[in-house]
Amino acid sequence: MRSALVGTIVVAVLLLFFNGCSTKSPEEMFSLAQQAENEGNFEKAVDFYSMLLKKYPHNEHNYKAQFMIGFIYSEELKDYNKASAAMQSIVDNYPDCDLADDARWMLEHMGENLESMEFTGEGKEDS
């Protein structure tokens, strides 16, 4: 009896959560994802970014949500398979966006310690 009550409550909370998200604009959903990320709730952030992509598949800024999914999987959750898939999606689906080169770079350097890398400033003029 108790487990049935707990199950009912869980279902009710999930319905409220998803119904609440269904009325959110793309900007609001992106903001919720960023908020969850800032709070260190990376799984929740990925969920919000993913919901944004599913609910608004033609939003002009979806590549940013896709990039953040890949970045969180790579740098926070250390799930390099999911991170690679997310970054490859940017390269395949948004090849001309302003994050495509970053996604390619992430694919090449995924799993490396970014803090220990030396950046030479290639592409910048010497003073």
SS (H, E, C) 42-75: HHHHHHHHHHHHHHCCCCCCHHHHHHHHHHHHHH
Distance CA 93, CA 9 (A): 39
Angle among Cα 62, 65, 68 to the nearest 5 degrees reads 150
Q: Dump pLDDT digits (tens) for 96-115.
A: 999 999 999 999 999 887 67
Q: Which domains does the chain have, with CATH numbers?
A: 24-111 (1.25.40.10)
Q: Cα dist. 46→16, 42, 78, 123, 124 in Å?
A: 19, 6, 13, 33, 34
Task: Compare 19 and 90 and report the one with higher pLDDT.
Answer: 90
pLDDT for residue 16 is more than 50: no
Distance CA 30, CA 55 (A): 12
Average pLDDT over all residues of the chain: 84
pLDDT (average), residues 37-42:
97
**Single pTM value for the model:** 0.74
Indicate the residue type of 55.
Answer: K
